[in-house]
Amino acid sequence: MTATARVETLVEPELDLELDAVWRNRPGFIGWLTTTDHKSIAKRYVATAFIFFLLAGVEAATMRAQLSRPENGILGPDRYNQFFTMHGTTMMFLFAVPVMIGVGLYLVPLLVGARNVAFPRANAMGYWVYLIGGVLIYGGFFVNSGPDAGWFAYTPLSGPEFSPGKRVDIWAQMITFTEIAALIAAVIIITTAFRMRSPGMSLNRIPIMVWASVVMSFMIIFAMPSVATASLFLAMDRLISTHFFNAAEGGDALLWQHLFWFFGHPEVYIMFLPGTGIISSLLPSFTRRSVFGYPALVLSIIATGFIAFGLWVHHMFATPLPQLGQSFFTAASALVAIPNGIQIFCWIATIWTGRPIFRTPLLFAIGSIIIFVMGGMTGVMIASVPFDLQVHDTYFIVAHFHYVILGGVVFPLFAGMYYWFPKVTGRMLSETAGKWNFWLMFIGVHATFFPMHQLGMEGMPRRVYTYLEGTGWGDLNLVASLGALVIFSSVVVFLGNVIHSLRHGAIAGANPWDAESLEWATTSPAPSYNFANTPVVSGRAPLWESGDELPVMTGLARDRQQVLLTTVLDAEPDSRHDHPGHTIWPFIVALTIGIFFITLIFSPWGLPIGTVLGFIAYARYIWPKKSHEPAIVELPRSVPAAEVPK
Amino acid sequence: MRRERIVADVSQLPTVVYGMRNLVSWGTTGFMIIEGFSLGLCAVTYVYLRKNTAVWPPHGTQLPQLLVPTINLAVMVLSLPLALWTKHRAERMERGATRVGLVLSSIVAVVVFGLRLAEFASLHTQWNSSAYGSIAWTILGFQGTLILIDMYDTIGITAIMFLRPESKWYPEVADNALYWIFTVASWIPLYFLIYFGPRWL
Amino acid sequence: MILQAPRYTQQSMVDPAGTKAALVDHFWHFLITTASIVTAIVFIALLIALFKRHRPVEPEEPAVQRSLTRWVSASVAVTLVIIVVFLFTDFRLGRAIATVPNRTPLRVNVIGHQWWWEFQYPDSVPNNWISTANELHIPVGRPVVLNMSSPDVIHSFWVPNLSGKKDLIPGHQTETWIEADSAGVYRGQCAEFCGLQHAKMAMLVIAEPEAKFDQWVLASRATATEPADSTAKAGGQVFLTAGCSVCHAIAGTAAGATVGPNLTHFGSRHSIAAATLPNNRGNLGGWILDPQRIKPGAQMPPNGLDPDQLNAILAYLEGLK
């Protein structure tokens, strides 16, 4: 990696060196375990998520190989069931949400002008917990004990009677880990976005990517507990014979579906909203105008966040629920197209009146709009109960959600990779390889998933390890499998591009795209402390509005990790806060959390052992170092002046 | 690279502030929302399971006993003024009074936790007897972990206020008192659900 | 030897043979037309936006912003109208398919198992109660109400040419109805992941004119046909002694277990193993000797029969018409 470039013509020389000494990671392996720098942690999230993306891709490729011919022999039913479960579980829990969390954790402080996130130690801990969860489930998979009841694990199939062994228990605990990590990241992003913004960055000047990350975070806070509760109930049914889902003792199989989908539907918007944030972020650079319709875009993101919680029953239309209730969910599921549509119309309006520059980020953004619109169309169709009752649990649904996820999550993500790679690494990705990457992926997606609409309507159900010759599904399945190879090759191109550009890419400079937002005000890559002095903001496009001279505030400490806190609505400077600095205790606490939950899969001793270890480790984590005195204290306004101590 | 123009100096801003001005309070608030919502989901599950069946509790299961749970509820509610008092002392940075409040709060937390462990027997059913038993035990246990976490936190802050009583910990004491109030408040509706749900629903 | 698949209509929702499927197929045409038009408009707008020549010098000046606001608002309004029309049409369709026509429906109980379908035709007279598996006979032109449940995991009953699907959920009774407009054999498949052999849990719906259906009912109520010759008779003994009767029932014999499919009139079935293979000697022999080769994970174990026993039992089963 390049060394930190020095900021030119500083008002105060040597400031950057002093700050770097305080903020930079410790060297070597110990630095790796102790870092609380949000950029390091975020890069880890993204890199780890990409590894899981590749693993899930290999699983998909194997499944497509198996399904390319009828009665094929590559995967038997047991292996296939593990593969499709792992593919879905990996993509949903280990890739899509963590990668968007990583993107948010990297960008939010830079976008709002802060030096770090609000809770750097918790941030570090969250990543380790996520990693432990991923390693757990893949460990199980590699010893033929991977979960095999689907990523959605419907009861009673996933219960103790029909899924013996530890497979589903491993799945349930992985949920716990990834859920803890996501919740930590969510609280961090919200707090950072609301308390650590640059002076002058009032609510109506917050970058759209930050809004998207904040709404995503609120959604995580209300959705994740539902799946955590569900998986807790399932784990208890399996391990200690509770009866939440056992009809014979008063439980209900449908309870699982309600709890799971109450999480499951918002989950896809948790993944999708940051994708829309990415597109809104990069369009200005490639159309040379600020994105049109800021208020509409922000309100659409917020509206989608709310509406998403009112859709979950559309996953359950084939179950015995009252018709009137179903109608509500049909209407909500169709109406969610409105805020999504608003965003798309605003983007088209932006492009219409801007001057498009056809670089790879814009290509991926356009591809995302095209693919997502197609997925959105089938989405409205399946809001209809009668129509859904035909296509539910068929390849039509597989086609639908791959279109919306590839369009709404993966393509924006790749756009974001090409857009922010220079900021993260200091080098540009190759444009030529980028265009190959884009076109291969665009063509591959359509080749793989478009035929699946037809397959579903021709009666091919989901989650089948094979199909009979007489069904006539062989040809379209072969086309889909060939399309998967094209997608695979595009990912190879991407990886090659990244590896090559890390060493040989063109040096990027601070703002290679001549972009409008604050992250481009600092060097590429950003210094450990992000900004030497706190930028002051007076509009939505700080770099385009400030011209040659950026107003800043000075005065934060130089001998310790100090950040500026501002007020929630108008971002007026409010107080200063000292961060504890780099420490190994988040890693240790994460290990104790791992011991706690993993041991519980196999023995109830996990409860006392894990609790004791966790409490000890957390005590060390939280025990204060000597703080810098004298502190400047401001008592709450509710304390009458007479009672203020002298 | 842009030039910078200094427009203000923040070095005189306070470094110790209270309530939602304090960064850590946002973390605590986040935790309370998450746990509160999770308990809400458990409560919804309780009602869902009840509505799904004709007889609640199931045949052969006694109604839960009220003595120990009601004593525990009373202790919790009566401890609220103590929590508020401790919070006010911390807001005025009165070291001695804060320490007293914290020691008493620690004792209360231990007592309540102990009573909670005793409460399980009042349910008159096992977690694996029926869905009724499963959800009742889960709610007691889950909410019990909030008590445990508070107990741990309170004892920890008490130790800190004796061993390293720096000014930055007073807002944490106030925050901790607020967390206890949340723990009690979250329990009150659940108490009625578990102990009177079988009688009224 | 190339084994013919049982002759049935290719399962497809866009080849309707029943009222409900026909209504949904009609709706599908409305949906795909509307979606295609809307998508085309959006794509054309996007392409124009990308490639048009003339662009405002000052894109963020108020006049331009106002114009864009009007266009975006209009687009949102049009989208809303389309969605409202969709919802109205959809709700009417929903009511139509949910309403069982009042033409003396036939009632059938459906019980889903891992990985086969049990069909019971209840009757007020207990002796007339029919229990069969994997092949559902129905009269053409009469609604059939299906009362469904499952003792193990969630399954889903789906015959796309006739109707949308409905889940079978342990602890619940669910209900749906189907009706065939024309005679034929329609294939259906389980549509809710139910474990190892979810992929091969199919069924055949055999729709016959009322008269033929009544004949089938009468024939099905009878106890099993007596074995015609000595080989078949020996087969009947093999059936009782080699373990088959532990799971399978044949009415009128000592075999009365209900773990596996009822085989009383097995000889008349078109297919075996939940519509996986045609019902002929070769397939049946292979299936009986080792079901795991055809459906790995199925509940039926391999059976070590010597060639004579196998021959006899095949003759016996073929004769159970």
**Average pLDDT of the segment spanning A554-560:** 93
**A3 has pLDDT over 50:** no
Q: Which residues of B touch A240 (CB under 8 A)?
A: 127-128
Measure in Å the smallest separation between the Cα of C222 and chain A Cα atoms: 33
**A137 has pLDDT over 60:** yes
The single-letter DSSP state of residue C170 is: T
AA identity, residue A257: Q
Q: What is the CA radius of gyration of chain A?
A: 25
The pLDDT of residue A630 is 80
The pLDDT of residue C4 is 47
- For residue A217, give the chain B residue with the closest CA: B30
**Would you say C220 and C135 are in contact if contact means Cβ atoms under 8 Å apart?**
no
The pLDDT of residue A600 is 93
| Contact state of A11 with B138 under an 8 Å Cβ cutoff | no
Low-confidence ranges of chain C (pLDDT < 50): 1-4
Block residue for tokens 């939940």: C274
The pLDDT of residue C215 is 96
AA identity, residue C31: L
**What does pLDDT average to in each consecutive run of 10 residues of chain B (201 residues)?**
84 94 96 98 98 93 96 98 96 95 97 97 96 98 96 96 92 96 97 95 85
- For residue A288, give the chain C residue with the closest CA: C59
Q: Which residues of A touch B160 (CB under 8 A)?
A: 623-624
The pLDDT of residue A638 is 86
Residue B81 neighbours by CB under 8 Å, 6+ apart: none
What is the tens place of the pLDDT at every residue in C199-237? 999 999 999 999 999 999 999 999 999 999 999 999 999
Please measure the distance between the N-terminal and C-terminal CA atoms of chain A and give it in whole angstroms. Answer: 52
Considering the entire predicted model, what is its pTM?
0.96
The pLDDT of residue C6 is 54
Name which of A76, A253, A458 is nearest C171 (Cβ-Cβ): A253
Q: Which of A127, A294, A269 is nearest to A203 (CA)?
A: A294
- The number of C-beta contacts closer than 8 angstroms across A and B is 229
How many residues would you count in chain A? 646
Phi, psi dihedral angles at C112 (to 5 degrees): -90, 135
Q: Which residues of A touch C153 (CB under 8 A)?
A: 154, 156-157, 162
Block residue for tokens 């849990």: C201
Give the separation between CA A481 and CA A477, rounded to whole angstroms.
6
Measure in Å the smallest separation between the Cα of A42 and chain B Cα atoms: 19
**A2 has pLDDT over 50:** no
Measure in Å the smallest separation between the Cα of A267 and chain B Cα atoms: 16
What ipTM was assigned to the predicted interfaces of this complex?
0.97
Residue A190 neighbours by CB under 8 Å, 6+ apart: A214, A217, A218, A221, B26, B30
**A7 has pLDDT over 80:** no
Supply A634's token pair: 């401001």
Q: In the sheet where C130-133 sits, what is the strand order?
A: C130-133, C116-121, C106-113, C144-149, C174-178
Chain B neighbours, 3+ Cβ pairs < 8 A: A
| Helix orientation angle between A97-112 and A411-425, rounded to the nearest 10 degrees | 50
Enumerate helices (H) and strands (E) in chain A, giving the number of each. 21, 4
| Contact state of A470 with C13 under an 8 Å Cβ cutoff | no
**A158 has pLDDT over 60:** yes
Q: Which residues of A touch C170 (CB under 8 A)?
A: 156, 247, 253
What is the tens place of the pLDDT at every residue in A578-602? 999 999 999 999 999 999 999 999 9
Cβ burial, residue C51 (10 Å; 0-12/13-18/19+) = exposed
**A10 has pLDDT over 60:** no
The pLDDT of residue A12 is 64
How many residues would you count in chain C? 321
Q: Which residues of C touch A383 (CB under 8 A)?
A: 90
Which of B1, B49, B53, B164 would best serve as a mutation to test chain A binding (most A beta carbons within 10 A)?
B1
**A8 has pLDDT over 50:** no
The single-letter DSSP state of residue C45 is: H
Q: Which residues of A touch C42 (CB under 8 A)?
A: 344, 348, 373
Name which of A233, A244, A549 is nearest B5 (Cβ-Cβ): A549
The pLDDT of residue A122 is 97
Work out the mean pLDDT of chain A and round it to a whole number.
Answer: 95
Q: Percentage of residues in chain A with pLDDT exceeding 70? A: 98
| Contact state of A635 with B166 under an 8 Å Cβ cutoff | no
Report helix, strand or coil for C176.
Answer: strand
**A4 has pLDDT over 80:** no
**A646 has pLDDT over 80:** no
What is the tens place of the pLDDT at every residue in A14-30? 888 899 999 999 999 99
Output the CA–CA distances (angstroms, integers) from residue C307 to A512, C161, C311, in the order listed. Answer: 80, 41, 6
Strands C116-121 and C155-157 come out as unpaired
Q: Which residues pair with A549 in a beta bridge?
A: B3
